[in-house]
């Protein structure tokens, strides 16, 4: 979602800002802009749509100055037009904003009452107009910003520059992430470490309510109440090189092919090849007596959680509740004493997930999170973090983050199963071995890439697609449908195969591909009979199974994708690969913007 970059440096800042915005593109946006201070004057350039449009505007009307701010906007309040694009500005102040000012109507009415004329449909404009009004009253920039921040409700990350101040930038954070970068050549603000990667890797992450005053060679951080505060400076491991596409056509494709490596990296933090056992770091609570684990996430992260529910129930006899964060946060769920809440998030900044975490905390739950960005708010607010080592994920559709979430959750299920004495030693050894073989099996499946591409030719023709599965594969059917929808824009639904006759079967005709994930195991026969019912009604079955499953299904499948035979426990991880490739190739054939699908943002920092 919206990306922010701010630079107080000593060289021409416009190219650096545009470059920083390119590194923020992955977050999702529909307009962009930059502003600088030059000769005491504020100037800005903005454009609708992709960054190349902004680059063209800047090439046509260059911007001078060594201090400036930049923004990629994902529209919330007001359409994605040039006029609504950030930076917003008056003659005295210009700023970029990520988040939503919830009390903007009230503040707008107050300012309008004093004669301020608003030019945009955005919530952000009240911030710039209020700072400007305080400046008009004679306040210095720092005081004007401080007074304004006190009045804002909602979530925001802000970067602000002032006319007549070529060496001053103010940043603020509440609910939306903002990092301060310390460099040799200047100081920086960025929505994330990636934005700042080539400029500096020395960062401070602002805490809730913090605001910061930057000059070329100084940084002063303040708490919400105005007290000066020190925040740790950390070395970011993210490098500019990590965000190249290499030999791949899309980031999503690169990230799919990175999966054997990142599963291996994640697994090796927990799996000891010498003992053949999974060992997790010590938990700050007793694993044997958790009354209930409440698993929460959004989108793909919540589907990883759904899979964990099957694993935890089956292998650890653990009571589990699962919900999506946007519902959970408001439903006033009672939570058991001594309960654990498990939050799953790639970005660690998803606002619904964070709000659900705050709710669980307020109900006395222990907080465990499975997060990909270790400096994120969700990671920071957890009692314990189980990291996914996926590395930066740039494609908007979650692939390697999802698969590493599954990897961590499988390890967690085994650790709880063992601690509770539910898993026998032999079964634990069997499952750990199966897990340790996953990276190699995933590489084998990736070899089917071209065969899956040819199946995608049929899928790309479809208007609707059904994904069916049972048991711990059911969440993978949901994930398959989500992946296809978001990047190919084809309508898709995931169903538990046994639920078909209760409604969805009415959708089936010869134009509806039915993608089934059906590994051999206790539910294979049942899934095959559901597929037979679909086949009998003209449904075009694409069957993903192992040799045994494909043999048992006989000729009901129009297309088959063969997966190595594995323990059903790890099947959700392996069967994710073909559904990702199928979605990817379908989207490429349809010519959509695979890495930045329309309307979507990578990190959803607004409600
Ligand atoms: C789907 C996808 C989204 C995210 C969801 C949660 O491919 O990427 O559904 O999984 O927005 O995001 P995080 O994991 O950052 O909390």
Instruction: Specify the residue for token string 């590194």.
Output: 23
Query: Residue 242 — very low, low, confident or very high, per pLDDT cuts 50/70/90?
Result: low
In contact, 311 and 423? CB cutoff 8 Å: no
Same domain, 30 and 163: yes
* Helices of type H across 246-345: 251-257, 259-268, 299-316, 325-328
298 CB within 6 A, ligand 1: yes
Domain boundary among 197, 215, 241: 241
Query: Residue 374 — very low, low, confident or very high, per pLDDT cuts 50/70/90?
Result: confident
Number of structural domains the chain divides into: 3
Q: How far is the CA of 559 from the centre of ligand 1 (A)?
A: 30
Same domain, 41 and 162: yes
Query: Residue 377 — very low, low, confident or very high, per pLDDT cuts 50/70/90?
Result: confident
Domain residue limits at 282: 244-436
Q: What is the pLDDT of residues 78-102, one digit of tens each?
A: 888 999 999 999 999 999 999 889 9
Counting ligand 1 atoms within 8 A of each CB, the residue from 346, 478, 596 with the most, and so the one to mutate, is: 346
Note the pLDDT of residue 375.
81
- Domain annotation covers residue 44: yes
The average pLDDT across 413-421 equals 95
Note the pLDDT of residue 243.
66
Q: Examine the pLDDT at 241 and tell me if it is beyond 60.
A: no
Phi-psi region of 538 (alpha: psi -120 to 50; beta: other; left: phi over 0): left
90 CB within 6 A, ligand 1: no
Domain boundary among 241, 273, 294: 241
- Domain annotation covers residue 255: yes
Q: Structure pTM?
A: 0.84
- Domain annotation covers residue 278: yes
CATH number of the domain residue 383 falls in: 3.40.50.10490
Domain boundary among 386, 416, 436: 436
Query: Residue 66 — very low, low, confident or very high, per pLDDT cuts 50/70/90?
Result: very high
> What is the C-alpha to C-alpha distance for residues 222 and 227, in angstroms, rounded to an integer?
5
- Domain annotation covers residue 601: no
Note the pLDDT of residue 75.
84
Q: Examine the pLDDT at 367 and tell me if it is beyond 80.
A: yes
Same domain, 389 and 473: no
- Domain annotation covers residue 404: yes
Note the pLDDT of residue 337.
95
> What is the C-alpha to C-alpha distance for residues 597 and 579, in angstroms, rounded to an integer?
18
Q: Considering only 48-62, 271-285, 391-405, which range has the smallest mean pLDDT?
A: 271-285
CATH number of the domain residue 220 falls in: 3.60.20.10
299 CB within 6 A, ligand 1: yes
In contact, 72 and 86? CB cutoff 8 Å: no
Q: Given the CA of residue 396, which atom of ligand 1 is nearest to it?
A: 8
Q: Examine the pLDDT at 604 and tell me if it is beyond 90.
A: no
- Percentage of the chain beyond pLDDT 70 is 99
The average pLDDT across 229-243 equals 78
Query: Residue 193 — very low, low, confident or very high, per pLDDT cuts 50/70/90?
Result: confident
Q: Given the CA of residue 300, which atom of ligand 1 is nearest to it?
A: 10
Collapsing DSSP states into helix, strand and coil, what is residue 333? coil
Note the pLDDT of residue 194.
84
Distances (CA, A) of 192 to 122, 189, 253: 23, 9, 23
Same domain, 374 and 278: yes
DSSP 175: B
Same domain, 37 and 184: yes
Same domain, 322 and 455: no
DSSP 15-33: HHHHHHHHHHGGG--SEEE
Cβ-Cβ contacts under 8 Å for 585 (sequence gap 6 or more): 452, 453, 456
Same domain, 194 and 58: yes
């Amino acid at each position: 979602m919206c990306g922010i970059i701010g630079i107080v440096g000593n060289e021409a800042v416009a190219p650096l800002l545009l470059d920083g915005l390119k590194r923020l593109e992955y977050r999702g946006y529909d307009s962009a802009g930059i502003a600088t201070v030059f000769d005491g004057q504020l100037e800005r350039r903005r454009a609708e749509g992709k960054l190349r449009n902004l680059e063209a505007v800047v090439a046509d009307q260059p911007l001078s100055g060594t201090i400036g701010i930049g923004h990629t906007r994902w529209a919330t309040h007001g359409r994605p037009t040039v006029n609504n694009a950030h930076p917003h500005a008056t003659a005295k102040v210009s700023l970029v904003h990520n988040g939503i000012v919830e009390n903007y109507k009230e503040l707008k009415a107050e300012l309008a009452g004093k004669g301020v004329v608003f030019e945009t449909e955005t919530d952000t404009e009240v911030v710039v107009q209020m700072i400007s009004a305080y400046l008009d009253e004679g306040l210095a920039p720092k005081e004007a910003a401080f007074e304004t921040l006190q009045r804002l409700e909602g979530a925001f990350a802000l970067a602000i520059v002032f006319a007549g101040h070529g060496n001053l930038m103010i940043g603020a954070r509440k609910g939306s992430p903002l990092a301060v970068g310390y460099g040799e050549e200047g100081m920086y603000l960025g929505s994330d470490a990636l934005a700042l990667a080539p400029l500096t890797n020395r960062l401070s992450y602002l805490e809730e309510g913090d605001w910061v005053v930057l000059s070329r060679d100084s940084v002063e951080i303040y708490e919400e109440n105005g007290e000066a505060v020190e925040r740790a400076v950390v070395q970011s491991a993210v490098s500019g090189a990590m965000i190249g596409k290499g030999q791949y056509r899309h980031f999503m494709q690169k990230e799919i092919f990175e999966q054997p490596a990142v599963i291996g990296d994640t697994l090796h933090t927990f799996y000891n090849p010498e003992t053949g056992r999974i060992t997790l770091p010590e938990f700050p609570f007793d694993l044997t007596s958790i009354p209930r684990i409440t698993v929460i996430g959004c989108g793909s992260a919540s589907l990883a959680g759904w899979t964990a529910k099957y694993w935890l129930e089956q292998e650890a006899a653990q009571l589990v509740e699962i919900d999506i964060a946007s519902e959970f946060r408001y439903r006033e769920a009672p939570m058991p004493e001594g309960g654990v809440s498990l939050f799953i998030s790639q970005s660690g900044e998803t606002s619904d997930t964070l709000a659900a975490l705050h709710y669980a905390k307020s109900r006395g739950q222990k907080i465990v999170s499975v997060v990909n960005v270790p400096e994120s708010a969700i990671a920071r607010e957890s009692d314990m973090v189980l990291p996914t080592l996926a590395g930066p994920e740039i494609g908007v559709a979650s692939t390697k983050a999802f698969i590493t979430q599954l990897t961590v959750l499988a390890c967690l299920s085994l650790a709880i199963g063992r601690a509770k004495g539910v898993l026998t030693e032999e079964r634990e050894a069997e499952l750990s071995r199966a897990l340790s073989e996953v990276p190699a099996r995933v590489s084998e499946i990736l070899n089917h890439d071209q065969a899956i591409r040819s199946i995608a030719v049929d899928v790309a023709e479809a208007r609707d697609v059904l994904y069916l599965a049972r048991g711990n594969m059911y969440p993978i059917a949901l994930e398959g449908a989500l992946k296809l929808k978001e990047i190919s824009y084809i309508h898709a639904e995931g169903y538990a195969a046994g639920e078909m006759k209760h409604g969805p079967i009415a959708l089936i005709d010869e134009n509806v591909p039915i993608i089934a994930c059906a590994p051999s195991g206790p539910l294979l026969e049942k899934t095959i009979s559901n597929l037979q019912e679909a086949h009998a009604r003209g449904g075009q079955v694409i069957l993903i199974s192992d040799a045994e499953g494909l043999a048992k299904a006989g000729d009901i499948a129009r297309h088959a994708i063969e997966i190595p035979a594995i323990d059903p426990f790890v099947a959700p991880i392996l069967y994710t690969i073909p559904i990702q490739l199928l979605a990817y190739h379908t989207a490429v054939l349809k010519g959509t913007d695979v890495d930045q699908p329309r309307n979507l943002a990578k990190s959803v920092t607004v409600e």
